[in-house]
Amino acid sequence: MSFRKQKRIMSRAIGLTALVLSAAFGTTVSAEDAKTQYFPLATFRVGAYASSGIPAWAGEIDYFRYINEVEGGINGIKLVWDECETNWEVEKGVECYERVKAGKDGSPVPIFLPHGDPISKALTEKSVADKIPLVTIAYGRTEAIDGRVFPYSFPVVFSFWSEASSAVNFIAEKVGGKDKLKGLKIATVYHDSPYGKETQVLLAHLAKTYGFEDIQIPVPHPGNEQSAQWAKIRQLKPDWVFLRGWGVMTPVAIKTAAKVGFPVDHIVGGIWSGSEEDVRPAGAVAKGYLAITPFPAGANFEIHQKLKKYILDKGLSDLKDPKSFGSVYYNSGVDEAIVAVEAIRTAQAHFGERPINGEEAQWGLEHLDLSEKRLAEIGATGLQQPLKLSAKDHEGGGAGKVLQWDGEKWNVVSNGWVKSDRELLLPLIYERAAAYAREKGITPRDATN
Amino acid sequence: MSFFVETLVGGLLAGVMYSLVAIGFVLVFKASGVFNFAQGSMVLCAALTFVTLRDKGLDFWLAALITLSVMVALGIAVERVVLRPLVNRPQITLFMATLGVSFVIEGVAQIVMGASVHELDLGIVDTPIEIGGVQVSQFDLAAAGTAGILVVALSIFFNKTRVGIALRAIADDPQAALSIGIRLQTLWQIVWGVAGFVSLIAGLLWGARQGVQFALTLVVLKALPVLIIGGFTSIAGAIIGGLIVGAGDSVAEIYLGSLLGGSVSTWFAYVLAVAFLLVRPAGLFGEAPIERI
Amino acid sequence: MSAIGTDAIEGFGTTGSTAQGTRDRLRVGSAAVLLATLVSIPLMANDYWLNAILIPFLIMSLTALGLNLLMGYAGQASLGTGGFMSVGAYATYNLLLRLPELPLPISLLLGGIISGLVGVVAGLPSLRIKGFYLVASTLATQFLLEWLFNQYGWFSNYSTSSSISAPRLAVFGHDLSSPTGRYFLTLATVVVVTAVATRLVRSQTGRTWMAIRDMDTAAAVIGIPVSAGKLKAFFVSSLVIGIAGALWAFAYLGTVDARSFNLDRSFQVMFAIIIGGMGSISGNYLGAAFMILLPILLDHVGGGLLGGAIDAGQLENLQRALFGALMVWFLIKEPRGLAALLSRAWTQLASCFDR
Amino acid sequence: MPEPILQLRDVSLSFKGIKALNALSFDVERGEICALIGPNGAGKSSLLNIINGVYRADSGSVVFNGERFVRIRPAQAAHLGVGRTFQHNALFRHLSVLDNVLAGLIRHCRATMVEHAFGVGRDRRESREFNRRVDEIAAFLDLTNHRDRVVATLPYGIQKRVDLARALVGGPSLLLLDEPMAGMNQDEKQEMSRFILETNASLGTTIVLIEHDMSVVMGLSHHVVVLDYGRKVGDGSPEDVRRNPDVIAAYLGTAH
């Protein structure tokens, strides 16, 4: 290499370093009085799961825009947001969190949405230290429902345990009552990861309670080959399969089930196995497949008409593929945005109509009451279940609707929201939270304030 | 017993799918000594291009033809832009370079064609059929048939054509190959082109099997132990290796998995591969060089 | 035959090459300045710099150092790095949990030693398998370990998510849980390990490794214990990587499960040492900087220049493609890694001073 | 007369069915310089490889210092005192001359890895002692000026001397030199011959060498063994061999 060339490379390297320094130090927060509410979005637009994320951010951003454009912000406080790419990896998620946690231009971060089960788990303790609530809708640690031990983790709406319990209750609905569960064989085919294993303990407990046989079949990540698992299903002949997949695992499961002749209308997918993105690649054989979800699909909810009128039709939407309007993931984004916005509204009612910081938003979340009436005002009746949170209950809802794929779209087939056995679940959850508190040396908060 | 046979047959047929990806590796490794980690991205790229064209309403064969040209061009481009400047570098550097290439392919493919998932329907019915009391997937049989045809076609190519013979020769002695009168670089381009073709076939079959999505790139991880067992330089080895890995994985998942708690197929094939290597340090069909000092 | 399958490895640095007084003084001087800067950084930097940039950068450098001992010095390429990191992390976690009376540094060291012993077992095939087949066989270690920690709850004390999180980090009564505390824990570990590793590679042990790397048959003929040398390299390398893994878990992330130490991590580390410079100590830092800082830089620059102008998804994909292209570009332009580039820069600088 | 240092008994070796060595037997006396000559492919290097265990003979045995071996391992041979240089450059090419020669002392190293890592215990004393020995050898072979150079950057002739230094520094009782003067010019050859003679005379090292240049061989060696296609065709003093008609037919007669 010539001398001059070396010099050139060196000078480029120096220039690059200078850029890093300026870029990274440039994010410091100014102390001015902010008039906006900052909402950082951890997204994953590249990598193996991008396809599921993209419609979800669209739903979320569209709702934020709707609040800004139509309602003029939350009580006049406009929302600002920017994105940080996580690739759905823990390390990048932590980097994003650290990058945004101090707020932006004096505008504080009220709530962090980690968008990823492993990321949320890695941030559990950091969020307590920084006093920023993590809202994890339909993922995250189940025992974080106990807000006395996990003050800043909010597995709002539908935890994995509620998911499993509701799925069992749906099966009971189909076979004619909980007493008919006795003697049934229910096989859970799960993604072999902490997420997939989270429901094992609970299902064993429910099996004992209701007398069904609990079969657990792991599928190793990524799940693109499942002939052995479904051969086993064929041998064991379960009555129902509860499918807790993620990513490519779900379509392969549906296809392989069809391959071994297992009826897909006896497979109930979990939250993360129940979107258009999960069934469409499976093609025609997915017809009849069921899935339980807190985010019912559909574009006919009242809020969707408003979103269409004020956002989509005006070309303001973040959605690139209009087909996804009203899809499960789009609606999950809308749901998440509703919860976040309402929590801030609740906090504003208490602390004043100004930007809310993390500590105040935590109060807002713990006093959030999304009643039927309020949901009707928002236009989310049927889309979002009623929700009432407290320090002892960071979940609130705990019910899901069951959808069935007709080859083109999802249709709700359950009788409204299928509730989980929360009275059965909560003592177990509190027990596990207490164990966690003991291990970590945490003194649980007093739940009365 | 029939359960065991079914598991075994299912595994063998899945193994053929791994072989399809492994063959792409073997071709490139044999000719230019590069372990092409970007093969997985090429499979994704092929499938994604194909379904995007089909979604635009193109005829099946026209879409296949255009995709084929794209893949061949991609293969040749990788050879020219990346590997030619890296000639005579250590294998591990070349390997890392192909890792970089896979980032580029994945990024650009998704910029151009988006990240959504697609269904890919090849029109192969997939209802199970019974053969002698054993349930077999029609799709898997068709895939195995395709793999068989591919192997036969490739062996005719390598044994009967002038280019093919030259390609076999360069694996042994690049100088000797030159005497046939074809430039080494031309040969490399041809091989990369053929590798592009093989990734098209693998992309179509894998895409039909699991939908066209990013996770297609992960099939590489299943192809690796196939290569180790079969040897990096043998197409026959890739097929035999695929069958061993497929059958081994399935049977292990059922029988060993119930002992150890499942998911043993994440490592079983690799441990099996190491066991094979300890007996034959260059794979079943690979040749270990004689050490001279 | 060298162990990585070709003699054309030009990427290796050398010890004791042409001694140039000015140059060496410059290097030592600037290393001292660098160290002083690193020590004083917490005075200026915010949490983001410590938590998201400096701590992972230092730990990645340490991991790269560990792999470089094995691959750059002893010539045994491995993709089991993530696996050894997880052994270190889980072993240290269990030591802290089950033997709380042990001081943190001892637990870290013991965790590293356990990882080292696993490394020796994983290194056994290297006595028979060479070159690229060895790389492939280390994948077995990687996948087996990832599975092991995900599968058996004992390792994570039966936590629901099979993840482990740091017990209270403290050394002799000083709480190290703050970002600054974790930063100094990391920095101190990195400095000590680097110093010991530098000594080791210049000793007869290091010479044994380099002899095996350059010409293993000749090494055997002149009486160098080749098998023992390889296994020692696996031990020391895995030990260092294990310590790095424990820091990754506790000083950086706080809570991890085995997926943080997956194959992607192994690739990342291997790439760091190839881009940084094999057989070079400073190369580990440069390579780690490339792998950790460059994507963040691209993100900041991309967001700053193009944010809003193009679709967010396109931007992310563009960054990924650009990072891949830069990886390839550096491999083509600088065969001996960034360390060689730096070394030439020193020579130039020294000649300016001498004039 | 004392027992020979090295005795080969009916040693045979083949590669993929082709005989490289065919029932070969000869003795090397203690303290002599023995030359192995013969055309290319005669099996000379293979023979050295058998003596220090790189290859394993198909049949026959090697007796070294009175001890009989069917198979000897390279490390074992080195520990018994067999030194070796190589026909093709087998130096540690990315290391300096100093490091290459120091590597020749690794088998004498008693300090453990931990002592190396922390520079304690035997490490300091050993490295002082080793450096002294390397300096001695470097001075003896006139390598002092190149001490810190990376070997890959040195001229071929000097590399050959580094190879010799690396073999010699460990104090072998038997030294195997595989074409130590290949590719050298006349001056370099003379210089190398002088080093070999001095090694033999001052250190008393027995030397077995392979060399093609007959004038060098005749001037250096006490004993010459001639190989042709894996068979021994001559064995005796340089004068005897020079007069042996079989040898003339097989080797000396042909231009090389």
Q: Give pLDDT, residue D43.
A: 83
| A23 assigned to some structural domain | no
What pLDDT digit, counting tens, does each position of D114-166 carry? Answer: 999 998 889 889 999 999 999 999 999 999 999 999 999 999 889 999 999 99
| A357 assigned to some structural domain | yes
Q: Are residues A241 and A307 in the same domain?
A: no
Cβ-based burial of B178 (10 A; exposed 0-12, middle 13-18, buried ≥19): middle
H-run or E-run covering B174 = helix B174-178
Q: Structurally, how many domains does chain A consist of?
A: 2
Describe the crossing of helices A422-440 and A200-210 by its angle, rounded to 10 degrees. Answer: 140
Contact C341 A10 (CB under 8 A): yes
- Give yes or no for B90 touching D (CB within 8 A): no
Q: Are residues A38 and A114 in the same domain?
A: yes
| Residue A113 DSSP code | B
Q: What is the mean pLDDT of residues A335-358?
A: 94
Residues of chain B under the 70 pLDDT cut: 1, 171-182, 286-293
Q: How far apart are CA A205 and CA A190, in angstroms?
A: 17
Strand partners, A243: A189, A269
Contact B127 A228 (CB under 8 A): no
Residues making up chain C, counted from first to last: 355
- From chain C, the residues in CB contact with B261 under 8 A are 151-152
Percent of chain A topping pLDDT 70: 92
Contact A280 B118 (CB under 8 A): yes
Q: How far is B98 from chain D (nearest CA, A)?
A: 27
- From chain C, the residues in CB contact with D117 under 8 A are 196, 199-200, 203, 205
Contact C323 B103 (CB under 8 A): yes
Question: Distance of CA B44 to CAs B217, C215, C264, C266, Å?
Answer: 6, 40, 18, 23
What pLDDT digit, counting tens, does each position of A19-74 carry? Answer: 555 444 444 433 345 689 999 999 998 877 888 888 999 999 999 999 999 999 99
Which amino acid, residue B28?
A: V
Q: Give pLDDT, residue C17.
A: 41
Contact B281 C77 (CB under 8 A): no
**What's the sign of the alpha-carbon dihedral A144, A146, A150, A154?**
positive
Q: Are residues A226 and A273 in the same domain?
A: yes
End-to-end CA distance of chain C: 43
Query: In 3D, which of C234, C219, C242 has the Cα closest to residue C126?
Result: C234
Token representation of residue B190: 């041809």
pLDDT: which is higher, A342 or B196: A342
pTM comes to: 0.91
Q: Are residues A165 and A195 in the same domain?
A: yes
Q: Enter the ipTM.
A: 0.90
Q: How far apart are CA A305 and CA A316, in angstroms?
A: 14
Q: Give pLDDT, residue B92.
A: 84
Give yes or no for residue D249 having a pLDDT over 90. Answer: no
Q: What is the mean pLDDT of residues A374-391?
A: 93
Give yes or no for residue C6 having a pLDDT over 70. Answer: no
Give yes or no for residue C114 having a pLDDT over 90. Answer: yes
What pLDDT digit, counting tens, does each position of B17-72 carry? Answer: 899 899 988 888 888 788 888 999 999 999 999 999 999 999 999 999 999 999 98
Backbone torsions φ then ψ of D206, nearest 5 degrees: -75, 135
Contact C321 B103 (CB under 8 A): yes
Which amino acid, residue A174?
A: K
Select from B102, B221, B282 the Cβ nearest to the Cβ of C324. B102
Q: How far is D221 from chain C (nearest CA, A)?
A: 24
Tokens 């949320």 correspond to A120
Tokens 């990886």 correspond to C327
Q: Give pLDDT, residue C158.
A: 81
Contacts of residue D119, Cβ cutoff 8 Å, sequence gap at least 6: C199, C203
Q: How far apart are CA A391 and CA C211, in angstroms?
A: 64
Contacts of residue C31, Cβ cutoff 8 Å, sequence gap at least 6: none
Strands A240-244 and A153-154: unpaired
Token representation of residue A324: 């996804």
Q: How far is B136 from chain C (nearest CA, A)?
A: 30
Contact C316 A143 (CB under 8 A): no
Q: How far is B273 from chain C (nearest CA, A)?
A: 7
Contact B93 C319 (CB under 8 A): no
Contact C257 A98 (CB under 8 A): no
Q: How far is D115 from chain B (nearest CA, A)?
A: 33
pLDDT: which is higher, C116 or A51: C116
Contact A281 B127 (CB under 8 A): no
The set of chains that have 3 or more CB pairs under 8 A with D is B, C
Strand partners, C255: C165
- From chain B, the residues in CB contact with A285 under 8 A are 126
The number of angstroms, rounded, from the C-alpha of A309 to the middle of its chain's C-alpha atoms is 27
Please give, one letter per residue, the 3-state secondary structure of D215-245. Answer: HHHHHHCCEEEEEECCEEEEEECHHHHHHCH
Contact B227 C136 (CB under 8 A): yes
- From chain D, the residues in CB contact with B288 under 8 A are none
pLDDT: which is higher, A333 or A438: A333
Q: How far apart are CA D204 and CA D197, in angstroms?
A: 10
Contacts of residue A377, Cβ cutoff 8 Å, sequence gap at least 6: none
What band does C10 get if pLDDT is binned at 50, 70 and 90?
Answer: very low
- Give yes or no for A148 touching C (CB within 8 A): no
Percent of chain D topping pLDDT 70: 97
- Report whether D215 contacts D201 (CB < 8 A): no
Give yes or no for residue D236 having a pLDDT over 50. Answer: yes
- From chain C, the residues in CB contact with D111 under 8 A are 204
Query: In 3D, which of C241, C223, C286 has the Cα closest to residue C138?
Result: C241
Contact C160 A99 (CB under 8 A): no
Strand partners, D35: D209, D224
What band does C15 get if pLDDT is binned at 50, 70 and 90?
Answer: very low
Strands A267-269 and A290-293: parallel
Q: How far is D126 from chain C (nearest CA, A)?
A: 10
Interface of A with B (CB under 8 A): 45-51, 54, 192, 217-222, 224-225, 227-229, 231-232, 234-235, 247-248, 251-252, 255, 258-261, 277, 280-285, 320-321
Q: Are residues A46 and A107 in the same domain?
A: yes
Q: What is the mean pLDDT of residues C45-68?
A: 92
CB pairs under 8 A between A and B: 127
Give yes or no for residue A1 having a pLDDT over 60. Answer: no
- The structural domains of chain C, ordered by start, are 21-354 (1.10.3470)
Contact A141 C51 (CB under 8 A): no
Query: In 3D, which of B85, B32, A3 has the Cα closest to residue C333?
Result: B85
Contact A20 C300 (CB under 8 A): yes
Q: How far is D102 from chain B (nearest CA, A)?
A: 21
Q: Give pLDDT, residue B168.
A: 73
Contact D78 C7 (CB under 8 A): no
Contact B97 C5 (CB under 8 A): no
Contact A118 C299 (CB under 8 A): no
Q: How far is C138 from chain D (nearest CA, A)?
A: 24
Strand partners, D34: D208, D223
Describe the crossing of helices A117-130 and A90-100 by its angle, rounded to 10 degrees. Answer: 30
Contacts of residue B119, Cβ cutoff 8 Å, sequence gap at least 6: A280, A281, A282, A283, B51, B211, B212
What pLDDT digit, counting tens, does each position of C121-166 carry? Answer: 999 999 988 888 888 889 999 999 999 998 888 898 887 667 888 7
- From chain C, the residues in CB contact with A85 under 8 A are 299, 316, 319
Q: How far apart are CA D139 and CA D131, in angstroms?
A: 12
For chain D, what are the domain ranges? 1-81+172-256, 89-169
Closest chain A residue to B266 measured between Cα atoms?
A220
Backbone torsions φ then ψ of D86, nearest 5 degrees: -120, 150
Dump strand ranges (E) for chain C.
Answer: 164-165, 170-171, 174-175, 255-256
Select from B88, B93, B111 the Cβ nearest to the Cβ of C331. B93
Q: How far is C318 from chain B (nearest CA, A)?
A: 6
| Residue A177 DSSP code | S
**What's the sign of the alpha-carbon dihedral D63, D69, D74, D79?**
negative
Q: How far is C258 from chain A (nearest CA, A)?
A: 9
Strand partners, D210: D36, D178
- Report whether D101 contacts D165 (CB < 8 A): yes
Question: Distance of CA C116 to CAs B146, C83, C91, C199, D115, Å?
Answer: 46, 11, 11, 19, 17
Q: Which residues form the domain of A189?
A: 160-293
CATH architecture of D1-81+172-256: 3-Layer(aba) Sandwich (3.40)
Contacts of residue A243, Cβ cutoff 8 Å, sequence gap at least 6: A188, A189, A190, A250, A253, A267, A268, A269, A270, A273
Token representation of residue A440: 């970590």
Contact C204 D117 (CB under 8 A): no
- Give yes or no for B293 touching D (CB within 8 A): yes
Q: Give pLDDT, residue C324.
A: 92
Helix (H, G, I), strand (E, B) or coil at D153: helix
Lowest mean pLDDT among B154-158, C103-107, C233-237: B154-158
Contact D15 B290 (CB under 8 A): yes
User: What share of residues in chain A are helix, strand, coil (percent, to 5)?
Assistant: 50, 15, 35
The number of angstroms, rounded, from the C-alpha of D225 to the middle of its chain's C-alpha atoms is 15
Q: What is the mean pLDDT of residues C87-91?
A: 96
Q: What is the DSSP string of A36-49?
A: EEEEEEEE--SSTT
End-to-end CA distance of chain A: 70
pLDDT: which is higher, A136 or B222: A136
Q: Give pLDDT, residue D1.
A: 55
Q: How far apart are CA B129 and CA B141, in angstroms?
A: 10
Report yes or no on chains D and A touching (3+ CB pairs under 8 A): no
Please give, one letter per residue, the 3-state secondary structure of A395-448. Answer: CCCCEEEEEEECCCCEEECCCCCEECCHHHHHHHHHHHHHHHHHHHCCCCCCCC
Query: In 3D, which of A95, A28, A62, A26 has the Cα closest to residue A336?
Result: A62
Give yes or no for residue D256 having a pLDDT over 60. Answer: no
- From chain B, the residues in CB contact with D163 under 8 A are none
- From chain A, the residues in CB contact with B128 under 8 A are 259-261
- Report whether B228 contacts B277 (CB < 8 A): yes
Q: How far apart are CA C13 and CA C72, in angstroms?
A: 9
The CATH number covering residue A333 comes to: 3.40.50.2300
Contact B115 A51 (CB under 8 A): yes
